[in-house]
Structure 1
């Protein structure tokens, strides 16, 4: 178990957004979504044009796989009922929801990356 296992998809999505998204976004606590936004002119008003939900959307999770160089395979010890996601720098993540497993592994990878950068 890791520090992200007990967190909701929304909490994980927010953390992934803070590490990954290169664009403006809004955390909508009411709808529990991360909204991709564009500002309307020189105002504080914005338009939400999409959502970012890597825990439930494989299309959002795909770039995380590439960025963290994650490897993925079925959990053969569990009759392939869950997924194993890992790379050489992080502990193995085992979840039934593959997109969620990818998101958690990405956050673990970013934690290791931050620890390494702070030691320099």
Structure 2
């Protein structure tokens, strides 16, 4: 799947499903927001936003745990000076180039790593 074609909301939603589990998050498709779960008297209530594509506090634990590297490429004369590139995980040989948002690039690499792990799990045996 080409995750770079997904919106931030769609990437965040996929991340929430993988990382938080289906019972620990909710979303509002009209507002394009993903929420952490909060239970109050049996009621499901939003307990904060989950936005690793844009919030370093949400993204950094994922980047650190899964050893994702982000490298700024400000010397590329064909791209704007704000271009980020080379978000990679060398252990799974996953990477994406030329994303303007470094956190989003790292989250896309994480999703690619999950695909890679699933392919490896399904081919063994």
Please give the TM-score of this superposition, normalised by the length of structure 1.
Answer: 0.85
Q: Is the 8 A contact 2:94 2:113 kept in 1?
A: no
- Structure 1 residue runs of 4+, over 3 Å off? none
Of 88, 91, 96, which aligns to 1:93?
96
Inter-CA distance 98–15: structure 2 relative to 1 (3 Å threshold): same
Q: Is the 8 A contact 2:26 2:34 kept in 1?
A: yes
Aligned to 1:54: 52
Aligned to 1:82: 83
Instruction: Give the deviation of 1:85 after TM superposition.
Output: 0.5
Of 104, 107, 111, which aligns to 2:111?
107
Equivalences for residues 62-77 of structure 1 within 5 A: 62-75=60-73
Instruction: Give the deviation of 1:67 after TM superposition.
Output: 2.5
Please give the TM-score of this superposition, normalised by the length of structure 2.
Answer: 0.82
* Gapped regions of structure 1 (runs ≥ 5): none
Instruction: Give the deviation of 1:21 after TM superposition.
Output: 1.8
Q: Which digits, 9 at most, give the CA deviation of each residue in 1:74-106, with x for residues without a partner?
A: 125525532220012234212110111111011
**Counterpart-to-counterpart distance in 2, 1:77 and 1:110:** 31
**Counterpart-to-counterpart distance in 2, 1:90 and 1:7:** 21
Aligned to 2:30: 30
**Counterpart-to-counterpart distance in 2, 1:106 and 1:100:** 10
